[in-house]
Structure 1
């Protein structure tokens, strides 16, 4: 990793060191950042400055060193309040939105307030009533924190920057609780899902390796169609090209894409008709590295991949490069008609996700947005 990249990842003005008390002093020498690249807290014990007693219930332990995790710093305000700092996207200090962390060693009926204090965006669905999600060891399904417990406001103590605070009461001392910006959808989850589909041996489903990321993760290409369509040469092949998850923090797009795939491989009569007349090409995750690292908008190297379509680099933007090459090959095929759809998320509108379709016909490009 370049020196400039490391400088961006560990920019002190954004979240400082992973210390946990108001005087910037950690409660234990072994606590702090253990991942020197990403910079997430690892089993960080949040205790008052100068505390030398034994660890007891209610001394919260924070962790984000796991897939798609993100938490850069915790400041102990009191036993009932903690300031949380999002770790910026790798190599791009501009983006600080996604968070995903665990809390353990809680006390029964311990009530706390978590303040996420360093958001990089002012426009957010939190202003429109969205709330973070939570699950725990005994309740493994995600659920939203009640809206009445979530507050999004400008804070004088944080130089009038937007802060999202939420109140929470722990009800099981043995549980590990996990909190996230929105419902997580990891790279590993996608791989498991696609592997399960492969075991079903559908005649109309095919999984291919389109390319590899900078960190050598898979860029998957899914083809869904009636087998006879793959042998057509004279007739026009109508190709629907679908992509998702170009921005790691836009997790709803992965759920939409999975639902789309589930429907298209099903025995539903409409799905069968669509497979008979169309060829579906799907890239379900355009930014696997960014997703794995817990970034919000950027790739491993700090690029917004949705801004690299014009001149992608095989070295810096391999997933966009490979996807564009495939699109160009389809476009140069005289017997195919193309429609491109990108599942993404709109964080500034009152709707959580939408689809953008680019219709290519005789080299002409038109844009349609469906909310």
Structure 2
């Protein structure tokens, strides 16, 4: 005999209720909550539902600025915060990332906040068990959330936000010392955020003969390997490494750590706040009014000058840092050589001399970086025929001009989201910071600065004393050392004193001190500009330090007067 219909309906309802209660009990009866409105976070929508003993979480991706007119390649960044579950028990989250604009398999990253803690732990890759599977535009993975976790933040790759940049920059300024000569505000983004430049060089060496390198990162805002590389580069430049000291004695290095801060803050992948791809805003006639480009282009123009009047230290090396999908290891885009290049009739590629310089740079970085050596070089026509990239601007506005003093080596270096320098490992921010340090070493090699030297002032000299600096110059193994002083009486007499034994002898009539016992000394005669110069081949010796001081003999009221320059400790650094 069948039960009456009302009883059958009640039984089914009771079964559903019991099933729900059992599921709710196993899940802690508290569904996770997904949010995505904070800095760096971007999704179109999110949904949460029970899935047996787990939670099913769908994260639907969105193009930059929710701009439906952008292509799918602009749907390549996602990040969110998940919390609100019963933290007393472990949770299993079955995540689907929907509507993705990329198909390569990337192990996501997360950071956890424990119950009772006000802050999240460090970003790290999720467990290998959560490696996504990809089908079309859907990426699936399961996260095992440990018990005691109050919330987590989840992202495609290691993020680096405007707030992270600000904290890092403040730390650099607080600890850098005089080699960080200035932090320059180049201008503001569309939404008013500062675009800063760090100028690094040794103030003990005059700029007269210095080369210049320019590095910018984050034109594409969520390509975060570029930020970590910049951190490593700046760390190297400000370190005690003698090769870094040589580099900043002989060069000015300009670093723009975040070129597109609005895009970063908004969680965009490739554009600024107006959905403009800044990478393609550098074409002739070089008049883009996009605020971020105006700030960067103006700073480059100020340093370069014009073909008729080059700047005193124009850019010789420009590195444009990015990140790329569907490639395993870091790589460069080298521009194809075109011996018949013509801005009107044959606009593809670059002059062969520039291609050769790019090859020299690539070889230098590969020699210094095991990580970079794993990558393969890709070819670029420089976006012919429009030539919209910063590398093309450097080539077309300056390098090809007959009066330009030296070609600009401008190139894009791409990081990737997958493997680290050990092929079985997933890359980390520290891997890219190490790549940045190795970029610094490659700059030393590319510019041919070893063997080299740098000077450390030991005393301040006396009033009326000549200035004094030293430098290494010339190519590779045939380098020479030049010691140069200024502020002498034209045609006046002087001497260079070399030695390491302290003396402290006051000289008449003002008590200017001769600070070292002369082990070697050279008589000097100033030229018509009041300068003295002594040059000699770089000695074939290991690293050593030698103190040097200039003396200037003048006649005052018919009597001799001695003036001494600041004592300089010259550190000679061999190639290594």
C-alpha spacing 1:307/1:199, structure 2 compared with 1 (3 Å): same
C-alpha spacing 1:312/1:250, structure 2 compared with 1 (3 Å): farther
Judge conservation of contact 1:312–1:318 (CA < 8 Å) in 2.
Answer: no
Aligned counterpart in structure 2 of residue 217 of structure 1, from 189, 193, 196: 193
C-alpha spacing 1:240/1:306, structure 2 compared with 1 (3 Å): same
C-alpha spacing 1:66/1:270, structure 2 compared with 1 (3 Å): same
Pick 1 or 2: higher relative contact order, CA cutoff 8 A, min separation 6: 1
The residue that corresponds to 2:62 in the other structure is 87
What is the CA distance between 1:84 and its match in structure 2?
1.0
Aligned counterpart in structure 2 of residue 103 of structure 1, from 82, 86, 97: 82
What is the CA distance between 1:66 and its match in structure 2?
1.1
TM-score (normalizing by structure 2): 0.49
Q: Take 1:190 and 1:355, find their aligned partners in 2: how far apart are those partners?
A: 27
The residue that corresponds to 2:453 in the other structure is none
Residue 342 (str. 1) matches residue 320 (str. 2): yes
Judge conservation of contact 2:319–2:410 (CA < 8 Å) in 1.
Answer: no
Q: CA RMSD in A?
A: 2.6
C-alpha spacing 1:355/1:175, structure 2 compared with 1 (3 Å): farther
The residue that corresponds to 2:456 in the other structure is none
Q: Any unmatched runs of 5+ in structure 1?
A: 1-47, 49-54, 155-160
The within-5 A match list for 1:323-338 is: 323-332=296-305, 333-337=310-314, 338=316
Give SS of 1:90's match.
helix
Structure 1 range deviating more: 346-355 or 291-300: 346-355
What is the CA distance between 1:271 and its match in structure 2?
0.8
What is the CA distance between 1:141 and its match in structure 2?
1.6
Q: Take 2:32 and 2:174, find their aligned partners in 1: how far apart are those partners?
A: 42
C-alpha spacing 1:355/1:239, structure 2 compared with 1 (3 Å): farther
The within-5 A match list for 1:261-300 is: 261-300=234-273
Judge conservation of contact 1:346–1:354 (CA < 8 Å) in 2.
Answer: no
Aligned counterpart in structure 2 of residue 140 of structure 1, from 106, 121, 124: 121
Residue 351 (str. 1) matches residue 329 (str. 2): yes
What is the CA distance between 1:199 and its match in structure 2?
2.1
The residue that corresponds to 2:168 in the other structure is 193
Q: Take 1:62 and 1:91, find their aligned partners in 2: how far apart are those partners?
A: 18
Judge conservation of contact 2:32–2:48 (CA < 8 Å) in 1.
Answer: no
Judge conservation of contact 1:57–1:105 (CA < 8 Å) in 2.
Answer: no
Q: Take 1:174 and 1:228, find their aligned partners in 2: how far apart are those partners?
A: 52
Query: How many pairs are equivalent?
Result: 302
Aligned counterpart in structure 1 of residue 33 of structure 2, from 61, 79, 82: 61
Residue 120 (str. 1) matches residue 101 (str. 2): yes
Q: Take 1:137 and 1:353, find their aligned partners in 2: how far apart are those partners?
A: 35
Q: Take 2:46 and 2:333, find their aligned partners in 1: how far apart are those partners?
A: 36
What is the CA distance between 1:163 and its match in structure 2?
1.1
What is the CA distance between 1:174 and its match in structure 2?
4.7
C-alpha spacing 1:366/1:241, structure 2 compared with 1 (3 Å): closer
For each residue in 1:135-182, what CA deviation from the matched residue of structure 2 results, as whole angstroms up to 9, or x when unmatched? 10136022212334223322xxxxxx3211110122234521110111
Give SS of 1:266's match.
coil
What is the CA distance between 1:370 and its match in structure 2?
5.8
Aligned counterpart in structure 1 of residue 42 of structure 2, from 67, 70, 95: 70
| Runs of 4+ deviating beyond 4 Å | 352-361, 363-371
What is the CA distance between 1:348 and its match in structure 2?
2.3
Give SS of 1:208's match.
strand
Q: Take 1:201 and 1:77, find their aligned partners in 2: how far apart are those partners?
A: 51
Q: Take 1:353 and 1:64, find their aligned partners in 2: how far apart are those partners?
A: 32
Residue 308 (str. 1) matches residue 281 (str. 2): yes
